[in-house]
Structure 1
């Protein structure tokens, strides 16, 4: 575990800066990590079936060059899926090698709360951090590739929007970066923007249903516009560059604009352009942008759709978007994905985010030595935390601190705290710690009626549920009145002897 972050320049020189999605795809193809599919494949279920199997096998990016629409015609835009289907590609989207992710997480933590400067030499050494902060300032262009074609009479049915699962309520846009801004803000003030990945159901040719959870930034912006009785401008960006895509998925503080922060991830200033029919700035080099207005009052039933929980979510009302324009490149690509029971693309991204967020956690909870959100547990429902335990009750303090630290962790229903020598990514180690260091009557903390993702069907009340914390650490001080057992371990000399003899015998070859 590194204690200080590597300079930003040193981290980013290993891989190129990907200003566009196309640059990332070209790089992947040169690495032999992209496959073009020439044969016709239906956007209804077939693309999903192929992607989910390829992702499970750790396979490449997929480009479907002949996606078949519901009417049997072939769409003009190829469909790109499985973009971040491996941890290596997620890291590359940040401009990193996999082994650099932890260092970059430390750098991001220091960027959030920089340590005090100690003299001129130390100040000069912080230049990479200053450069990263400056890179958040966008550059606004007069003309942009994403507006090579402007359609003021949009027809969403011409886009190769997937219907992922047999029980889905219709075509669903799954990989958009949705841009909104707070009511009363200046359209040029990117710091007041929110960028989130929210799914959008195609209702008809010029109407969408926008689904966002109440705690997300887009929903908060919409409430502000609705309270003023005004419709809200919205831009749905399809095929953004990797840094913008990943910035929209990170657990950033509510006061930090994801769009601005993408400049830190990319390592250079973002280029934006004014949208054509709504007062918003949009990424200049994206593949497509759907512009429109979100109604302050009108809703429509959204769903059901297969979700990352492995279940279909319930049908619920969400705001309706009136689409006013589709702008795009002359020969655009349509970026998409499919979600379902892990492994899926969001769960792969979450594994990398897990590494990025650990230094941030350690800033606020310094005794944490390791942290794991198991992908199989929907990437956030269970957390396993290893701590350097020093006093009674410490595990419970860590549980409560974690639940209150970030909005995303308020949806973590189970926290398991273990000692630092336990491998948090080994279910065998976790099971051993729970079975030998946890007493159900003493070491379980239960909370009731706490915030929960409404997609959790196990919750007795929609949006409210219980939480459980398991203290599977060694009990010390007043936590126990018994003498604690000693862990058995072989001597180093005997271990070394066994290794040599086994190698000579070849019994494990």
Structure 2
């Protein structure tokens, strides 16, 4: 499905961005505390280019020799390019990925041959092992996190925060080379000191599940857990780690499909893990049983600072990197931010998968201003009473991410679910608060939602703004007004003749 060449590493993607005129180097010294976030934010709001800060300045006045790359996915077009396609091709890529997830048996030889791209993609998701890697060209004699240009994004942040790490874990008892068991997640990582960092993985994420398998091992006494933190991964691995994939699908392996080339892995230097050979920097380390520290507060995607809570501590055992590494970073805050831009593209990418499970869905929109997933508006081809409520429940139970969607608005297929005026009209004319609201209590919720009455538990509401049929109503529904096609065509001719078209 790729229309762009494979990007085996971050540098090749930056080279492509430079060729497209969407890459800019910042020569001025820029402070890692707040200033870099302020510059990045203003550029993102204007739909600006990828930035490379050549003189990042630490809080103690040191200038880092490691440049910082930011705003990598600050526009939908660059997110699509990271997936290997033009923005207009995202729906087709979504259909392709949906077919890979749930393949249908071929209907004869011709159909089988037409599916060769799917078969090739399936082969590409098997990683390839190598013994030499750019990311291991150099290694710090004494691993020191303070040598990395880690940002402090917001004034009241609890410390420097690694914001674009791909954290690699595998379950206790799995084999080193069993890459399909690996999990790759983008988790917040707070730098505590030169040799320790906190890994914030929530309970429903793969990293937390793997952590639990180590902590409960050895008759409950626990075992040390190896973890690799990948900084500056290639676009396919970055976006693959952020995709809401099923728990049975390894992001590490799936990135090969997105990349159009197999993921190259190399054994880590100090832990029993395989790591991406073409990354910029790898932080290796161990999470010891019971070793936690208070994480935060940090500014989050909700636009608020989150509360301080204990999370596991990674004790660093090695840091390897390219000879002249780049450090990839971003900031997270009230949308629009980079995660919300990525979420816009993922919305369209996931639509074919949603239709596989809920065929009546015509379109779905996760408004970026609603923190990308807290609210969903879905249009359906309605055929029977109660169908809107069925769709609400199906969405909430489909993916872990939708369990955090606290409001679902269902509209008919004549309504554009991405148009606030259409949504408002449907709610005003097709929705009755007493009859058409479905309220659930004590359901899973992101604990960063401060509107929730309990940590991790909150209510959900579904609003049925569809035309009511059958047993849903005791009175006939009004007929929507619409001009005839002939009148609309005549109007176009008249306006053109009068020079008003």
Structure 1 match to 2:388:
395
User: Which one is further off, 488-497 or 368-377?
Assistant: 488-497
Structure 1 match to 2:397:
404
Q: 1:240 aligns with which of 221, 229, 233?
A: 233
User: Quick one: distance in 2 between partners of 1:166 and 1:502?
Assistant: 56
Structure 1 match to 2:480:
487
Q: 2:457 aligns with which of 441, 456, 464?
A: 464
- Give the deviation of 1:35 after TM superposition: 0.5
Alignment of 1:292-441 (within 5 A): 292-441=285-434
User: Quick one: distance in 2 between partners of 1:449 and 1:238?
Assistant: 37
User: Quick one: distance in 1 between partners of 2:387 and 2:132?
Assistant: 57
Normalised by the size of structure 2, how large is the TM-score? Answer: 0.98
Structure 2 match to 1:258:
251
- Give the deviation of 1:498 after TM superposition: 2.6
Structure 2 match to 1:62:
51
- Give the deviation of 1:500 after TM superposition: 3.4
Alignment of 1:439-478 (within 5 A): 439-478=432-471
- Give the deviation of 1:483 after TM superposition: 1.1
- Give the deviation of 1:499 after TM superposition: 2.8
Whether the aligned pair in 2 keeps the contact of 1:392 and 1:475 (CA below 8 Å) is: yes
Q: 1:217 aligns with which of 200, 203, 206?
A: 206
- Give the deviation of 1:494 after TM superposition: 2.2
User: Quick one: distance in 1 between partners of 2:304 and 2:62?
Assistant: 31
Q: Deviations over 1:455-495 (max 9, x none)?
A: 00000000000000000000011111111101111222222
- Give the deviation of 1:152 after TM superposition: 4.2
1:79 maps onto 2:68 in alignment: yes
Structure 1 match to 2:36:
47
Q: 2:269 aligns with which of 263, 276, 285?
A: 276
1:190 maps onto 2:179 in alignment: yes
Q: Deviations over 1:168-208 (max 9, x none)?
A: 01100000000000110011110000000001000000000
Structure 1 match to 2:155:
166
Q: 1:502 aligns with which of 485, 495, 501?
A: 495
Whether the aligned pair in 2 keeps the contact of 1:152 and 1:324 (CA below 8 Å) is: no
SS of structure 2 residue aligned to 1:263: helix
User: Quick one: distance in 1 between partners of 2:333 and 2:491?
Assistant: 45
User: Quick one: distance in 2 between partners of 1:127 and 1:251?
Assistant: 25
Segments of structure 2 that go 5 or more residues without pairing to the other structure are none
User: Which one is further off, 327-336 or 113-122?
Assistant: 113-122
Structure 2 match to 1:34:
23
Structure 2 match to 1:17:
6
User: Quick one: distance in 1 between partners of 2:492 and 2:14?
Assistant: 45
User: Quick one: distance in 1 between partners of 2:132 and 2:104?
Assistant: 41
User: Quick one: distance in 1 between partners of 2:390 and 2:418?
Assistant: 22
Whether the aligned pair in 2 keeps the contact of 1:39 and 1:65 (CA below 8 Å) is: yes
SS of structure 2 residue aligned to 1:404: helix
Q: Deviations over 1:74-119 (max 9, x none)?
A: 1011000000000000000011011111011011111111112111
- Give the deviation of 1:501 after TM superposition: 3.3
User: Which one is further off, 151-160 or 270-279?
Assistant: 151-160
Whether the aligned pair in 2 keeps the contact of 1:222 and 1:296 (CA below 8 Å) is: no
Q: 1:154 aligns with which of 135, 138, 143?
A: 143
User: Quick one: distance in 1 between partners of 2:497 and 2:320?
Assistant: 68
SS of structure 1 residue aligned to 2:172: coil
User: Quick one: distance in 2 between partners of 1:25 and 1:501?
Assistant: 51
Q: Deviations over 1:122-144 (max 9, x none)?
A: 11222111111110111111110
User: Which one is further off, 371-380 or 117-126?
Assistant: 117-126
Structure 1 match to 2:120:
131
Q: Deviations over 1:343-396 (max 9, x none)?
A: 000000011111111101101100000011010000000000100000000000
**Equivalent residue pairs, number:** 497
User: Quick one: distance in 1 between partners of 2:406 and 2:141?
Assistant: 46
- Give the deviation of 1:502 after TM superposition: 3.4
User: Quick one: distance in 1 between partners of 2:440 and 2:132?
Assistant: 54
Normalised by the size of structure 1, how large is the TM-score? Answer: 0.96
SS of structure 2 residue aligned to 1:470: strand
Structure 1 match to 2:78:
89
Whether the aligned pair in 2 keeps the contact of 1:80 and 1:335 (CA below 8 Å) is: yes
- Give the deviation of 1:497 after TM superposition: 2.7
- Give the deviation of 1:503 after TM superposition: 4.0
User: Quick one: distance in 2 between partners of 1:474 and 1:430?
Assistant: 13
- Give the deviation of 1:504 after TM superposition: 4.4
User: Quick one: distance in 1 between partners of 2:147 and 2:117?
Assistant: 45
